[in-house]
DNA sequence: CTGAAAGCGCTTACAG
DNA sequence: CTGAAAGCGCTTACAG
């Protein structure tokens, strides 16, 4: 168990050849460079005997590639991003990439700093869910010439790769579902409505109401402040349950759905007897909630692996495709008890 | 918006000085090296004007430090590790480190590969929750001379840094709590009992039963197979609810607790009327479960930040402390409805 | 007190 | 077809 790191030069010296030859052989270019089989065999033999571990940093430095992906999501402790992150890690590993995780907390400033840090760390590319109001930061990536794929969100003003679901259709469908159940007073509780992703959900909801001939309209969309706290949710729910006499609520994410349920439990509002609920996202625990939650499940596994595949193909192509890949996947509606009989 | 990367040499040439001087100034060693204030000012000025971004890889290569921590947990999509990972990321960022996330899926083989990959990527150290049976892999880290801190778990056979909670005491307390509620038939559902962490929970549970004069003992400990599926949990629960006529179950983790509740919902077993439950861990959703879950909350924030602080202090000290830091934190018992009146 | 030179460990273009 | 040499962009020990 020696302490000294063995380098390619050590192998070369021991064999009386140049370290260039060692490098060729170890990188599988022996054939290509017409190095004799016997020599190749001996290089591998000595490398194994010395337990040679190439210094990756030297390689990165030389090649400019780090085999690293920068991932920026809102918050890794949010189960939605946890599942997504897991898939991204899995697919990246499959392709020989490691991933640096960053949580932006939906702050454009933090996001910008993380982006700079990752660019300076010479990641090969990014997968990210940019926070609201971060168009400038995203555009600035262009300067670095690094490829990136947006996930869960995108900006209409930026022509980029992205992987999202059809949010409009999903919200429309969920709202129609509640209407068919007989609910007429349906509220929509959301946050980050500036993001297309979220706004498409709002649009889908409103359109479904309109198409049904109801005119509750805008009044029933509750846009929570940017950094929403449980108190904000509470205030909204108190109003909805009280004067608004709402019969059902559609939550625009599981994070807000969870907060909503917490508040309802505290206030003694029964689900679905007093108020029925449907929620975007489908974390595992929705099955065991106070009333199992009717959910709009996103194909997180497919979203994550698709994003990574697009990214690595661009990294390996050496430059960005002229054509951005814009992937829109379908979600799955899962009925449970929270939406009533 | 030029494409060419600016290097420290560009700044040096423009000022007619050596790039060494530029390096000194930019690294805040101007004073130390007695470089005139005027020169320092000009260096910063030109660096700003050229929008100089030092090539971190070159720096890493030169210094051998990457300002990167390797984090290996079981599964980032598990809320327990999600919260923990979030705290680790936060504290690491505070200290100027980025973190590469790896999920081992509790596989020693995968874990070993991730370790090798991270060592070759020259991370500065590790924070990890090693899977059962990975003693050899952990010991192998010694060869790399890299510092590491275990989290949530440790191996009695390895003298290392670690941060855990007092699992024995927590399980003991939870069991006594159930006994005081009047339950006499209490089962303990667990997995990975080979890990001290988990085994300490088992011991605490058994000791509490013994101290109370009850002799249900071993028979009520259900050790699920290593890679437990919902079917395994179902089988156990069916037995417990049926012939065993158990009145309460203590779950050894939130992952298994969630599965347990799913099964109970499917089987129509009411909580706590038919069977009361208490669970280790306290994910957010425990508050809104079918019956809000009485939980043993771990201080995840403190665990994460403590682990990172120990690690970075060792990284910066240049070598491992002779004394391993073994931190045992307290957990918090939170009573909710799932444990009955 | 200041600055030129060496060198980290690879890969690859190029000369023989 | 093979191998010696250059060079990636920093930092720091060392000579002046």
pLDDT in tens for each of the 341 residues of chain A? 334 678 888 888 888 888 888 888 888 887 777 788 888 888 888 888 888 888 889 989 888 889 999 999 999 999 999 999 999 999 999 999 999 999 999 999 999 999 999 998 999 999 999 999 999 999 999 888 899 999 999 999 999 999 999 999 999 999 999 999 999 899 999 999 999 999 999 999 999 998 988 765 456 888 987 767 888 999 999 999 887 788 999 999 999 999 999 999 999 999 999 999 999 999 999 999 999 999 999 999 999 999 999 999 999 886 655 678 999 999 999 999 999 98
- Which nucleotides on strand C sit less than 7 A from a protein beta carbon? 1-13
A53: chain B residues, CB-CB within 8 Å: 119-120
CA-based angle B226:B229:B231, to the nearest 5?
Answer: 125
- pLDDT > 70? residue B1: no
Q: Stretch B133-148: mean pLDDT, rounded?
A: 92
| pLDDT band for position B17 (cuts 50, 70, 90) | confident
pLDDT in the model for residue A282: 98
Q: What is the dihedral of CA A96, B124, B194, B159, to 10 degrees?
A: 150
Segment B88-104, tens digit of pLDDT: 999 999 999 999 999 99
In this structure, the protein residues whose CB atom falls closer than 7 angstroms to any atom of nucleic acid strand C are: A 5, 7-9, 19-20, 23-24, 26-27, 52, 54-55, 58-59, 61-63; B 17-21, 33-36, 61-62
CA A203/CA A224 separation, integer angstroms = 16
Q: Å from A212 to nearest chain B CA? A: 33
pLDDT in the model for residue B28: 81
Which among B98, B258, B285 is the nearest to A258, CB-wise? B285
Tell me the pairing of strands A294-297 and A326-329: unpaired
pLDDT in the model for residue A216: 58
- pLDDT > 90? residue B321: no
Instruction: For an interface test with A, give the residue of B288, B298, B301 to mutate (most A CBs within 10 A).
Output: B288
| pLDDT band for position B319 (cuts 50, 70, 90) | low
Q: Å from A175 to nearest chain B CA? A: 24
Strand order in the sheet with B148-151: A326-329, A161-165, A148-151, A125-128, A68-73, A98-103, B98-103, B68-73, B125-128, B148-151, B161-165, B326-329
Say what the pTM is.
Answer: 0.93
Q: Is the separation of the CB atoms in B127 and B87 below 8 Å?
A: no
Give the count of beta carbons closer than 10 Å to the beta carbon of residue A260.
25
pLDDT in the model for residue A219: 61
CA B84/CA B305 separation, integer angstroms = 9
pLDDT in the model for residue A328: 98
Inter-axis angle of helices A108-120 and A135-144, nearest 10: 10
In percent, the amount of chain B with pLDDT more than 90 equals 67
Q: Do A76 and B76 touch (CB under 8 A)?
A: yes
Where would I find the beta strands (DSSP E) of chain A? 68-73, 98-103, 125-128, 148-151, 161-165, 186-191, 221-224, 248-251, 276-280, 294-297, 326-329, 332-334
pLDDT in the model for residue B320: 56
Q: Is the separation of the CB atoms in A150 and A161 below 8 Å?
A: yes
Structural domains in chain B, CATH included, are: 8-54 (1.10.260.40), 65-165+301-329 (3.40.50.2300), 167-298+333-339 (3.40.50.2300)
Residue A235, phi then psi, degrees to nearest 5: -55, -45
Q: Is the separation of the CB atoms in A191 and A198 below 8 Å?
A: yes
């Amino acid at each position: 168990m020696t302490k000294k790191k063995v380098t390619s030069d050590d192998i070369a010296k021991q064999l009386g050849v140049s370290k260039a030859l060692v490098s060729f052989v170890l990188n599988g270019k022996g054939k290509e460079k017409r190095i004799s089989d016997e020599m190749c065999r001996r290089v591998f033999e000595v490398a194994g005997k010395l337990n040679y571990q190439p210094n990756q940093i030297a390689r990165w430095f030389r090649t400019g590639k780090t085999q690293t992906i920068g991932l920026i999501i809102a918050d890794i402790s949010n189960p939605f991003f946890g599942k997504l992150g897991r898939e991204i890690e899995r697919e990246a590993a499959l392709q020989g990439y490691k991933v640096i995780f960053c949580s932006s907390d939906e702050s454009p400033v933090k996001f910008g700093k993380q982006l700079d840090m990752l660019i300076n760390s010479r990641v090969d590319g990014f997968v990210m869910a940019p926070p609201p109001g971060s168009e400038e930061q995203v555009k600035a990536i262009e300067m670095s010439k690094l490829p990136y794929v947006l996930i869960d969100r995108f900006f209409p003003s930026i022509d980029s790769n992205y992987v999202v679901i059809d949010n409009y259709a999903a919200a429309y469908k969920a709202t129609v579902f509640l209407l068919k159940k007989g609910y007429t007073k349906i509220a929509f509780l959301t946050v980050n409505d500036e993001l297309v992703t979220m706004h498409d959900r709002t649009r889908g909801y409103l359109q479904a109401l309109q198409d049904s001939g109801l005119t509750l309209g805008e009044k029933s969309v509750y846009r929570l402040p940017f950094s929403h706290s449980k108190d904000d949710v509470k205030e909204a729910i108190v109003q909805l349950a009280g004067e608004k006499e709402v019969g059902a609520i559609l939550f625009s994410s599981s994070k807000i759905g969870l907060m909503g349920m917490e508040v309802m439990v505290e206030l003694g509002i029964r689900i679905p007897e007093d108020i029925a609920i449907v929620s975007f996202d489908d974390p595992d625990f929705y099955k065991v909630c106070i009333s199992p939650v009717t959910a709009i499940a996103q194909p997180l596994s497919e979203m994550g692996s698709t994003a990574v595949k697009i990214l690595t193909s661009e990294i390996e192509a050496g430059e960005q495709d002229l054509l951005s890949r814009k992937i829109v996947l379908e979600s799955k509606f899962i009925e449970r008890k929270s939406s009533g009989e």
